């Protein structure tokens, strides 16, 4: 189960004044799942308006209804883990989205398995959160427990030319569990919990 407070803690670092993101990359897809343009840019190079809009897109994933829209999934154990998206997402987390070849694989996997009746975007965010020490009574203390490096993916229908609407699918990797990184799990977002993208989720987990 995902702790709602953990997600809220993360979203507090997703504002223009407390931005935790260093890079954003993405692809625009047609309704058949083929790429129609990509980008990859340092988050600090965005305009103020672009920064605000993209923070809203990224924030929508952890800020969604915990354990309803946003659910925790486990990757397989052992060698089976290598068949899914785990090694690719791990590498992208480590290189902070600087490998366009790996990003293309993510776009391709989603494009081949994601069901959409209209063009959509896939936005990837690279974030880093210096997790502060928290006492048993809930008081914040000086210092940090760890640095949580993570990726957020947001898949959104296009509402205009290269203009994403509200995310309908996405994920947070690795999971942020008990205020710590859990590389064995991923939190996957579905705007409509009754109509999830089963094929896409299975491909992410199992390949």
Could you count the other beta carbons within 10 Å of the beta carbon of residue 198? 11
DSSP labels for 57-97? HHHTTTTS-BTTTEEEEEPPSGGGGGGSSHHHHHHHHHHTT
Residues 6+ apart with CB under 8 A from 3: 66, 177, 178
| pLDDT at 137 (0 to 100) | 55
| pLDDT at 133 (0 to 100) | 79
| pLDDT at 53 (0 to 100) | 97
> Angle at CA 73, nearest 5°, toward 158 and 32?
30
| pLDDT at 24 (0 to 100) | 98
**DSSP state letter for 54:** H
| pLDDT at 186 (0 to 100) | 98
Tens-place pLDDT, residues 101-151: 999 999 999 999 999 999 999 999 999 999 987 756 556 555 677 899 999
| pLDDT at 135 (0 to 100) | 59
Closest CA to 169 of 109, 128, 127: 109
**Positions in the chain whose pLDDT score sits under 70:** 135-143
* Secondary structure (3-state) at 154: strand
| pLDDT at 184 (0 to 100) | 96
Q: Is the dihedral of CA 15, 17, 23, 25 positive or negative?
A: positive
| pLDDT at 145 (0 to 100) | 74
């Amino acid at each position: 189960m995902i702790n709602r407070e953990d997600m809220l803690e993360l979203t507090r670092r997703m504002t223009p004044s407390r931005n935790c993101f260093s890079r954003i990359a993405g692809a625009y897809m047609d309704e058949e799942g083929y790429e129609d343009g990509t980008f990859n840019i340092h988050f600090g190079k965005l305009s103020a308006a672009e920064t605000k809009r993209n923070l809203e897109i990224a924030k929508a994933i952890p800020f969604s209804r915990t354990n309803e829209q946003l659910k925790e999934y486990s990757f397989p154990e052992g060698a089976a883990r290598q068949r899914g998206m785990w090694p690719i997402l791990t590498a992208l987390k480590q290189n902070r989205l600087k490998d366009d070849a790996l990003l293309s694989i993510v776009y391709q996997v989603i494009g081949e398995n994601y069901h959409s009746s209209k063009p959509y975007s896939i936005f990837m965010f690279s974030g880093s959160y210096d997790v502060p020490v928290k006492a048993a009574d809930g008081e914040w203390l000086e210092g940090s427990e760890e640095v949580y490096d993570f990726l957020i993916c947001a898949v959104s229908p296009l509402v205009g030319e290269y203009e994403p609407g509200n995310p309908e699918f996405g994920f947070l990797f690795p999971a942020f569990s008990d205020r710590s990184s859990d590389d064995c799990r991923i939190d996957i977002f579905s705007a409509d919990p009754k109509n999830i993208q089963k094929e896409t989720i299975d491909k992410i987990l199992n390949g």
